[in-house]
Amino acid sequence: MPSTYEKIDKATGTGSSGTITFTSIPATYTDLVLVWQPIVGTSTSDYIRFNNDSATNYSETVLRGNGTTATSVRDTSVAQMYISTSMSTTSNVCIAHIMNYANTTTYKTTLFRANNPSGWVNAGVGLWRKTPEAINRIDIISSVNFTTDSTFTLYGIKAA
C-alpha cells in the first residue's frame, strides 16, 4: 500500500457469520479504504452499512460487465449499499473508497469496484443519506457465512 495508507484493522471470516464489523474507527484520516476478498459457500450479494444504520438511507448505481454483456442497476432508499457478489470457491477482490467519512456536515459517498476471476467486474458509487455524522462503524454483510479464507482490511488515508 502507498505510504499515505495506514492499516486501521484487519479481520477474517469465521465460517459461522455473514457479517464483518469494524468499530472504533478513529476520525484522524481524510478517507477510508476497505479491501476485502470474500469467499462464501454459495454465490450471494455483499452489502455495506455504516454506523449500524438499517433504515432506507442508502442508494447506489452499479455498472457490471464481463467483456460481452454490460448491465447497470440503480437502487434508491434501500437499507444497505450493494457492493459485490461473493462466489462459492473463488475470491473476488473488492475495494471501497469511503470519502470524507469523518465529516459531520455532508452525506457520505463511496466508490467501489469488485473484480471476479470468472470474468466480470462491478464498478459503482453509493451514497449514505442519513443526517450527516462521522462514520465510526462499518459492517460488511452477506446472506451466507464468510469462510475462514475471507480477508478484510480497513485502511485510513493520511492527510498529505
Write out the three cell numbers for 29: 484520516
Domain definitions of the chain by residue range: 5-157
pLDDT of residue 145: 86
How many Cβ atoms sit within 10 Å of the Cβ of residue 17? 13
Fold that domain 5-157 belongs to in CATH? Jelly Rolls (2.60.120)
pLDDT of residue 98: 97
How many Cβ atoms sit within 10 Å of the Cβ of residue 56? 12
Degrees, nearest 5: CA angle 108-109-113 = 140
Mean pLDDT to the nearest integer, 86-105: 84
Residue pair 93/37 in contact (Cβ under 8 Å)? The answer is yes
Per-residue pLDDT at 146 exceeds 90: no
Distance separating alpha carbons of residues 157 and 2, to the nearest angstrom: 9
Per-residue pLDDT band for 90 (boundaries 50, 70, 90) equals: low
Between 59 and 1, where is the model more confident? 59
Task: Please list, in sequence order, all residues whose beta carbon lies within 8 angstroms of the beta carbon of residue 151, skipping any fewer than 6 positions away.
Answer: 10, 11, 12, 13, 36, 37
Tell me: the pLDDT tens digits for 97-134?
Answer: 999 999 999 999 999 998 877 777 889 999 999 999 99
Distance separating alpha carbons of residues 153 and 160, to the nearest angstrom: 21
Residue pair 72/65 in contact (Cβ under 8 Å)? The answer is no
Per-residue pLDDT at 70 exceeds 70: yes
pLDDT of residue 3: 79
Per-residue pLDDT band for 23 (boundaries 50, 70, 90) equals: very high
Distance separating alpha carbons of residues 113 and 121, to the nearest angstrom: 7
Mean pLDDT over all residues of the chain?
Answer: 89
Tell me: the pLDDT tens digits for 8-21?
Answer: 999 999 989 989 99
Write out the three cell numbers for 60: 447506489
119 burial via Cβ count (<10 Å: 0-12, 13-18, 19+): exposed
